[in-house]
Chain A
Amino acid sequence: MKKIQLTIGVTGLNNTDNPGPGIPVIRALRDSHDFELRIIGLAYENLEPGIYMKDLVDKTYQIPYPSIGEKDFIQRLEYINNKENLDIIIPNFDAELHTFMKSKEHLESIGIKTYLPTFKQFEERDKTNLPGYGEKYEIKVPFSKPVVSYADIDNLEKNFDYPVLVKGKFYDAYIAYNKEQVITHFNKISAKWGVPVIVQEFIRGTEVNMVALGDGEGNTIAAVPMRKQYITDKGKAWGGITIGDEELLKLTTKLIKETKWRGGMEIEMIKNAKGDYYLIEINPRIPAWVYLAVAAGQNIPEALVKLALGKKVPPFKSYEIGKMFIRYSYDMIGDIAQFEKLSMSGEL
C-alpha cells in the first residue's frame, strides 16, 4: 500500500518532568506504517525539549500563548501554514483547546484538519461541572466545589473534611490538610490559571486511568486502562502498567456512547477499597502516557489522524495486559547557536 504523505503540526513538546503529550504522540505517529510524515513542532517556550529532538521533530515554530487572543494566535498558525502546508494539527495543551475548537472551521478553510470534541462535550466535562456530569451520566464523582474568592474558602468547612484536593481549571492539583494550605494553593493556582479553583473531596484508593478515542458517533475506537505504579510529587505517573479492568472498560464505552465523544481523552478514576469507581477528571485530549497504549497494541494517535482524514477506523478489539512504561529523564545536548536561532527567528 502506498503511504499517505502528511504534514502534521503538534503542540505540547514540553517533555519535562511534567510532560506534555506532544513527543509521545509524535513517537506513536512515527511508528505508523501507513504514513510518510513531516512533523512540525509548535512550541510556546524556548526550552521545550521537543524543539531540540531532531529525529522526531522536523522543524519547530514558536507560537504565542492562546491567552493572546484567537486572532493573533491564528495569524501565527496561518504564517506557519503558508510555509509548511499543514494537513492536521494535534493540539495537546488543555488551555489551547478552546481556541482550536473555536477556529475549527477557519482552520479547515485553510486546509488544516483537527479532531476535537464539540464545545458541548468539552464544557460538560469541565472540572467545575463535575457533580452535574456525574449525575447526568450516573457515575460517582467526589464532591467538589469551585472557589473564586477567600470568602468561598471560609464556607468550605461546612461541606468538606480535610484533606481536600485543590485543582486549577486547566492544570495543577495539590492536597491540602487545612484551610491555610487551601489558601496557599488557591493563590498559587489562581495566579497561574485564573479562577475558579476547584476544591474536591479526597478519595482514598487506587488511581486508574483510561486513554480512549471516540469517533463522534458513540463508538469507542480505542481504550486502554492503566494503573499508575509510581507517582511523582506532581502527581504524574512515572511508571504504569496496562490492566484488564472490565468495569473500567464498560464505564468508558458507556460514557463515549452517551456523550458521543469525538477525539482523544483521558479518564481519571479512583477505585476505593469497596471497589467503587469515582470519576475524578476527564481530560479532553490524549495523555502523555499514550505510548503505553501503542505498545499494548492500540496506536491511538495514528487512529486519530485517520479519523481526522475522514477515514473509517474499525475499533481495536484487544490490547496486551501487563505492558509497562517506565519514564526516565535524559540530558540532551544543545548549543547556544540553536537557542540564538530560535530566539531571533522563532523557528528552528
Chain B
Amino acid sequence: MKIRNNIAISDSGFVFDSNNGESFTLNKIGLEILQMLKNSRTEEEITQKIVKKYDVDIETFEQNYFDFVGMLRHFNLFENESF
C-alpha cells in the first residue's frame, strides 16, 4: 500500500493530485496518517502511534482506519494494487 508519488500533501491538510488535478482536504489526524502512509509506515506502526497519542481504543481506531483507507482507495491515491 503506497501513496502515489504525484500526490502533494501540504501542511495545511490540502492534498493535490498533480496527475488529474483533483484536490482534497484532510483533518488533522487524517493528515498525520496520510503523511505516515507516504513514508511507508505499516498499519501496525500507524495504529500504535495514534493510539498512543490520542484518546482512542484500538478497536474504534481500526474501524475508522479501515474506513479512511477505503476512502483513499476510492479517491485513487494509492499506487496500483493487486487484490
Contact = CB atoms under 8 A, between A and B. Distances in A.
A343 B14 CA distance: 8
A161 interface: no
A336 B23 CA distance: 9
A336 B10 CA distance: 12
Interface string A304-348: 000000000000000000000000000000001001100110000
Nearest to A345: B12
B25 A343 contact: yes
A165 to B, nearest CB: 38
A340 B12 CA distance: 9
Contacts of B13: 344
Interface in B11-31: 12-14, 16, 23, 25
Contacts of A344: 12-14, 25
Interface of B: 10, 12-14, 16, 23, 25
Interface of A: 336, 339-340, 343-344
15 contacts: A336-B16, A336-B23, A339-B23, A340-B10, A340-B12, A340-B14, A340-B16, A340-B23, A343-B14, A343-B23, A343-B25, A344-B12, A344-B13, A344-B14, A344-B25
Given A336-B23, A343-B14, A343-B23, 9 more contacts: A339-B23, A340-B10, A340-B12, A340-B14, A340-B16, A343-B25, A344-B13, A344-B14, A344-B25
